[in-house]
Chains A and B, each alone.
Chain A
Amino acid sequence: MVNRAKGIKENLWAYGFLSPWFVGFLVFTGGPIIASFVLSLTRWNLLGTPEFVGLQNYVSMFSIGSGFVNSLRATLIYTVISVAVAIFSSLFMAVLLNFNVKFLGIFRFCFFVPAVMPSVAMAFAFQLIFHQQMGILNYGLSQIGITAAPNWLNDTFWVWPSLGIVTIFTYSTGQMMLIFSAALKEVPEQLYEACDMEGANFFQRFIHVTIPCISPIILFNVVVGTVNSFNSAFSIIFPLTDGGPANETNVLSLELYNQAFRMFNMGYASAVAVVLFLIVGAVAIVQFRISKNVVNYD
């Protein structure tokens, strides 16, 4: 009897502590998710009352030639490029930072500091660097004999490699680098010693020892990076290309922003939000599955 009363009291204390989150969840996350589903069935320009239109928004979204299908394509390309670039560049830098040399602190600072820079400032830098006529990149290319240099940010093909280069300087890459750095220190020294006894070179060691040892971490970073890319796409692409050229980089978050806050198609934009939410949800389920085996939440 006493124990049960104690248990109830303990539960009440716990719910009391949780109450700020509970309110926040209902008002700012859970409620809005449900509201998005409802709004996605309406037509509404913020004035007057929303008009119920059923699934019409979804039908027009998936009709041929719609901006939405183009956005799905852009999101897919951006996610693949940004995750691949972040994985390779962060692993490369983490390997360099694992060298047994001096001044590693300075190098770590240089490698990581772009990650905490405002994406807006980095966008300004890259607009100048990638500029077709006055940019330093094309000047550098012309010095090594490449005169037919691309118009990086204004070309529907070259804008993707440009975004790939920019990805190297983002938070996502920095975060992966720190995680890889920690993982590389965990690779058992004996395995490397065994390799040296067999006369393996640096690359053989890397392929046959390092990669297998850190493969769960690579997988983890791929999934975390995918979720990150949905969050960071807007802050990187909006100041750099604003979805251009010719809507080539108009990823889902930009499409949602344009529909909702430039054209005030709130119903249609909500339908985009619902699809975005479902995509992230699917990725999140994969992440949970993987996390169970790889990471330790306790």
Chain B
Amino acid sequence: MIKNKKLWLLILQYALLILVALFMMFPIFWIFSNSLRTLTGISQFPPRLFPEEPQFSNYIEVLYNSNALVYFRNTMTLIVGNTIGTLLSSSIVAYPLARMNFRGKNFFFALILSTMMVPTVAVIIPQFIIFRELGWLDSLRPMIVPSFFAFPYNVFLFRQFFLTIPRSLDEAAMIDGCNRWQIFSLLVVPLAKPIFITIGVLSSIWWWNELFQPLIFVQSNNLRPLTTGALLGFRVQGQQHLVQWNLQMAMATLMIIPPMFLYLFAQRYITQGIKSTGIKE
């Protein structure tokens, strides 16, 4: 009797899990499925789950006859630039907040925490004006250079990790005659590898997906990253409202594969990073 009840419970649990998993994966499946159709196949009614004759030519069309590879190169430039920039600057800024006592420490930390919440939209106009004065509009610089001046959220993540390294190590190194920079670069950084990977992965995913800033700062088609490229690059020539859906879907499929694999292989780091928003462990 009890065994029977347990079996039913187990079946119910698996059924729920599978149902929700199918639901959550459906949009991704739908992008992929539509990327293999012709333009008329997409508007076919009733819609079929799988295309009758898979059109792999959509991918060839996207890779050879669109700007996809240029968009990809621009996105990679943003990712590499921002990852280097934020790993360097945010870790440096986080060090004294985690491991030193100095005047104004609590004030500065509170200020960093509060700027974490300022939406990019709220400060975009003055930034736009600054970059216009510098002559940086329509280039990738407005989206890369700021990363070398520390992102508050990443500073926060670094600080949380640095706190877990015993402070007695710093004191021992001080007695041995190391200065603060040597302690940071030779002692703390090597011990903090996991958080560097976490922030590198999160930053890469973020810039892979970022839409707003490229929309503001970049006008030329050959400077667009994947997001604005996919959004604006597949309009039928001369007709702003007609979209080549099949090609756009092939493009979208190419765009969802990298973050998927990054999540698959770096799941541990991503989960750790997202969870350490300060919840008590």
Stretch at the interface among A60-68, A145-153, A155-163, A268-276: A268-276
| A261 CB contacts on chain B under 8 angstroms | 128, 215-216
| A92 CB contacts on chain B under 8 angstroms | 20
Q: List the B residue with the shortest CB-CB distance to A217.
A: B279
Q: List the A residue with the shortest CB-CB distance to B259.
A: A116
| A213 CB contacts on chain B under 8 angstroms | none
| A256 CB contacts on chain B under 8 angstroms | 121, 124-125
Quick one: given A114-B24, A217-B279, are A11 and B118 in contact (CB under 8 Å)? Answer: no
Q: Is B79 an interface residue (CB 8 A)?
A: no
- How far is B260's CA from A180's CA once the two chains are assembled, in angstroms? 22
- How far is B130's CA from A17's CA once the two chains are assembled, in angstroms? 25
Pick from A17, A36, A234: contact of B123, CB below 8 A.
A36
Quick one: given A21-B93, A125-B27, are A284 and B117 in contact (CB under 8 Å)? Answer: yes
* A15 CB → nearest B CB, Å: 7
- How far is B43's CA from A179's CA once the two chains are assembled, in angstroms? 40
- How far is B216's CA from A107's CA once the two chains are assembled, in angstroms? 38
| B136 CB contacts on chain A under 8 angstroms | none
Pick from A39, A129, A220, A235: contact of B27, CB below 8 A.
A129
| A28 CB contacts on chain B under 8 angstroms | 123, 127, 146, 149
* B89 CB → nearest A CB, Å: 4
Quick one: given A234-B212, A295-B278, are A99 and B27 in contact (CB under 8 Å)? Answer: no
Within 8 A of A (CB), among B217-248: 226-227, 230-231, 245, 248
| A287 CB contacts on chain B under 8 angstroms | 117
Q: Is B122 an interface residue (CB 8 A)?
A: yes
- How far is B184's CA from A37's CA once the two chains are assembled, in angstroms? 39
The 0/1 profile, CB within 8 Å of A marked 1, for residues 160-179 of chain B is: 00010000000000000001
Q: List the A residue with the shortest CB-CB distance to B10.
A: A101
Q: Is A124 an interface residue (CB 8 A)?
A: yes
| A88 CB contacts on chain B under 8 angstroms | none
Q: Is B7 an interface residue (CB 8 A)?
A: no
Q: Is B96 an interface residue (CB 8 A)?
A: yes
Within 8 A of B (CB), among A227-275: 227, 230-231, 234-235, 238-239, 252-253, 256-257, 260-261, 266, 269-270, 273
Q: List the B residue with the shortest CB-CB distance to A107.
A: B17
| A234 CB contacts on chain B under 8 angstroms | 121, 211-212
Stretch at the interface among A79-87, A132-140, A191-199: A132-140
Scoring B17, B209, B263 by chain A CB atoms within 10 A of each residue's CB, the highest score goes to B17
Pick from A14, A36, A116, A175: contact of B100, CB below 8 A.
A14
A118 touches B208 (CB 8 A): yes
A134 touches B47 (CB 8 A): yes
* B62 CB → nearest A CB, Å: 13
B256 touches A298 (CB 8 A): no
| A119 CB contacts on chain B under 8 angstroms | 209, 211
Q: List the A residue with the shortest CB-CB distance to B254.
A: A121
B180 touches A101 (CB 8 A): no
The 0/1 profile, CB within 8 Å of B marked 1, for residues 15-55 of chain A is: 10110110111011111110110010000001000000000
Pick from A20, A124, A280: contact of B92, CB below 8 A.
A20
Give the interface residue-count category, chain B.
35 or more
* B220 CB → nearest A CB, Å: 16
A31 touches B230 (CB 8 A): no
The 0/1 profile, CB within 8 Å of A marked 1, for residues 86-129 of chain B is: 00010011011100111101001001111101111111111111
Pick from B17, B105, B119, B149: contact of A231, CB below 8 A.
B119
- How far is B121's CA from A269's CA once the two chains are assembled, in angstroms? 10
Within 8 A of A (CB), among B176-212: 179-181, 184, 205, 208-212
- How far is B116's CA from A224's CA once the two chains are assembled, in angstroms? 11
Quick one: given A116-B262, A128-B34, A280-B118, are A32 and B126 in contact (CB under 8 Å)? Answer: yes
Quick one: given A125-B252, A136-B30, A234-B212, are A96 and B20 in contact (CB under 8 Å)? Answer: yes
Q: Is A110 an interface residue (CB 8 A)?
A: yes
Pick from B13, B118, B124, B152: contact of A99, CB below 8 A.
B13
Pick from A113, A124, A231: contact of B120, CB below 8 A.
A231
- How far is B126's CA from A145's CA once the two chains are assembled, in angstroms? 54
- How far is B33's CA from A124's CA once the two chains are assembled, in angstroms? 13
Within 8 A of A (CB), among B1-48: 10, 13-14, 16-17, 20-21, 24-25, 27-28, 30-31, 34, 42-47
| A227 CB contacts on chain B under 8 angstroms | 117
- How far is B280's CA from A220's CA once the two chains are assembled, in angstroms? 12
A109 touches B96 (CB 8 A): no
Q: Is B72 an interface residue (CB 8 A)?
A: no
Pick from B120, B216, B260: contact of A116, CB below 8 A.
B260
B260 touches A32 (CB 8 A): no
Q: Is B271 an interface residue (CB 8 A)?
A: yes
| B34 CB contacts on chain A under 8 angstroms | 125, 128
3 smallest beta-carbon distances between A and B, as pairs? A24-B149, A32-B126, A14-B102
Task: With A118-B259, A287-B117 given, name 11 new contacts (CB 8 A).
Answer: A14-B102, A28-B127, A32-B125, A99-B17, A113-B263, A118-B226, A121-B230, A217-B279, A238-B211, A295-B279, A296-B279
Report 17 cross-chain contacts, Cβ distance below 8 Å, ordered by A residue: A11-B103, A13-B96, A18-B96, A20-B89, A20-B149, A21-B150, A24-B149, A39-B126, A101-B13, A113-B25, A120-B211, A179-B279, A217-B279, A234-B121, A260-B125, A276-B119, A280-B122
